Amino acid sequence: DIDENRDDEYSKLLQSKKLWPVDPMVEKDWSGRGQHAEFKTHEKKLLDDILNVQDLLGSTSTAVVQSVKCKRILLARKTIRCNRYLTKDKAIEEVAHLSRLKHSHVVQVIGTYTMGTELSILMYPVAEHNLETFIQDLDPRNQSELVWTRKLVALGAFFGCLVHAVEYLHSNMTKHMDLKPKNILVRHIRYSAISSVLEYKVYIADFGISRSYDTLDDTETDGPTMFTRKYAAPEVVDRQKRGLSADIFSLGCVFAEIGATLDYFQRSFDPASSTRFDYETAKIRTTNDLDHLQKLQDILDSNEYGDRSYQANIDAVCEFLGEIRWDHLVSRFVTQITSEIPRMISKDPLNRPSATSLALSRNILLQCCQSGSDPLEAAPLDSTNQE
């Protein structure tokens, strides 16, 4: 029977990735068939009743990401169209990585299913933004001063949150290999049950090309791999041996963009002022200059060889970072991290700080960085959070 063979094939694949059988004590049985299920193509109506599509979150040539509601919980569903080049075996690697990780700032896998040639991954939480769109949407003319200020305060705290998330990945022998603003989700948590002094929370996502290892020595790898050139470390671009420090370089590039954004909106230094950002001045400035990352982008664009990646413009980017008055932008607990950004984007991997040393340099740990994966919460009736 073809259907039985297909079931058996998926079970064997799950077993090979140590994803099955699932411990009944921790299994998330979203489907009524277990955490990892198979649906026949004629069962599409049944599946649509279980997973009610809410919105399109994004798409690529090989995958579609939608928000779906399952038993009142809003989930992100990533559906991958598998073929002979992108097999189910390769596609499910992302699940294998995420299933090993349980951290407050890392997305969590709820389950998977197959239907025909498609593999779908269900993840939590659904976020309103990725870091790229969060930064783009900081136009003060489109929001109240209170909302705008809270976003910038959260942005300044993300340095520490992301350092602790990457430190957790690396301590679990996992290389992300594609850290960039688009792969970092930002969720509005004001109306959630999450306890935090911040109104926004970051999550590292998209582990599609990540790698997990058994020992630290194994994390040093060579050979071809996919990467995003703009944020990739020099040794990745040159296809040389690379280790966990390649993630540190990419994280440093992300931090440079956060710093450039905060620097753009900072008020002229006034010792008498209790706020770091000037709303009215920012509105005027944004009217004349829409892109808060333009100064940094101009540096990348000015490369004489037309190479707009960070690794090709390290000296110029470090010079730009040296002009930022970090002590005016972020708390003193974060300046120990921001002072390390030039070392994070060092050309020599051995000169970069480890995620552990960066995490230790921060003298305070926010509550959001100390807990495990977020508890599942029922979505608001309209499936959207208000900002």
Q: Could you tell me which of 252, 256, 259, 254 has the C-alpha nearest to residue 345? A: 252
* Structural domain includes residue 383: no
* Together in a domain, 279 and 351: yes
Full residue range of the structural domain in which residue 14 is found:
2-124
Could you tell me the pLDDT band of residue 171, with boundaries at 50, 70 and 90?
very high
* Together in a domain, 90 and 192: no
Could you tell me the pLDDT band of residue 266, with boundaries at 50, 70 and 90?
confident
pLDDT value at residue 265? 86
* Together in a domain, 78 and 185: no
Q: Which domain-ending residue is among 124, 151, 180?
A: 124
Q: Tell me what the pLDDT averaged over the chain comes to.
A: 86
Residues 6+ apart with CB under 8 A from 289: none
Our count of domains for the chain comes to: 2
* Structural domain includes residue 387: no
Q: What is the pLDDT of residues 188-206, one digit of tens each?
A: 998 887 878 899 999 999 8
Average pLDDT over residues 334-353: 96
* Structural domain includes residue 384: no
Could you tell me the pLDDT band of residue 268, with boundaries at 50, 70 and 90?
very low
> In this predicted structure, which of 121-125, 279-283, 352-356 has the lowest mean pLDDT?
279-283
* Structural domain includes residue 379: no
pLDDT value at residue 2? 40
Q: What is the pLDDT of residues 45-104, one digit of tens each?
A: 999 999 999 999 988 888 899 999 999 999 999 999 998 888 888 888 878 878 888 999
Question: Does 185 score more than 90 pLDDT?
Answer: yes
* Together in a domain, 273 and 226: yes
Q: What is the CATH number of the domain that holds 27?
A: 3.30.200.20
Q: How wide is the angle at C-alpha 256 spanned by C-alphas 332 and 329, nearest 5°? A: 30
* Together in a domain, 145 and 292: yes
* Structural domain includes residue 256: yes
* Together in a domain, 120 and 229: no
Q: Which domain-ending residue is among 77, 103, 124?
A: 124
Q: What is the pLDDT of residues 20-39, one digit of tens each?
A: 777 766 668 899 988 899 99
Output 20 or 275, whichever has higher pLDDT: 20
Output 215 or 52, whichever has higher pLDDT: 52
* Structural domain includes residue 137: yes
Helices 245-265 and 145-171: angle between axes, nearest 10 degrees: 170
* Structural domain includes residue 9: yes
Q: How many CB atoms lie within 10 A of CB 265?
A: 23
pLDDT value at residue 5? 46
* Structural domain includes residue 385: no
pLDDT value at residue 1? 43
Could you tell me the pLDDT band of residue 3, with boundaries at 50, 70 and 90?
very low
Q: What is the pLDDT of residues 220-252, one digit of tens each?
A: 555 556 788 999 999 999 989 889 999 999 999
Q: What is the CATH number of the domain that holds 284?
A: 1.10.510.10
State the Rg of the chain over Cα: 22
* Together in a domain, 238 and 343: yes
Separation between Cα atoms, residue 237 and residue 4, nearest integer Å: 44
* Together in a domain, 14 and 134: no
Question: Does 4 score more than 50 pLDDT?
Answer: no
* Together in a domain, 120 and 136: no
Could you tell me the pLDDT band of residue 310, with boundaries at 50, 70 and 90?
very high
pLDDT value at residue 275? 61
Q: Where are the alpha helices (DSSP H) in the chain?
A: 2-16, 44-50, 88-91, 93-99, 131-136, 145-171, 234-237, 245-265, 279-288, 294-301, 314-322, 326-329, 332-338, 341-344, 355-360
* Together in a domain, 296 and 315: yes
pLDDT value at residue 89? 86
Considering the chain, what percentage of its residues have pLDDT values greater than 90?
Answer: 54
* Together in a domain, 236 and 302: yes
Bin 116: left if φ > 0, else alpha if -120 < ψ < 50, else beta. Answer: left
* Together in a domain, 338 and 212: yes
Count of CA atoms in the C-beta half-sphere (13 A) of 325: 10
> In this predicted structure, which of 114-123, 172-181, 276-285, 352-361 has the lowest mean pLDDT?
276-285
Q: What is the pLDDT of residues 321-337, one digit of tens each?
A: 999 988 877 877 788 89
Q: What is the pLDDT of residues 364-386, one digit of tens each?
A: 677 888 778 898 999 876 644 45
Considering the chain, what percentage of its residues have pLDDT values greater than 70?
Answer: 87
Buried/exposed 8-30: b ≥16 CB within 10 Å, e otherwise: eebeebbeebebbebeeeeebeb
Q: Which domain-ending residue is among 99, 124, 149?
A: 124
Average pLDDT over residues 209-223: 57
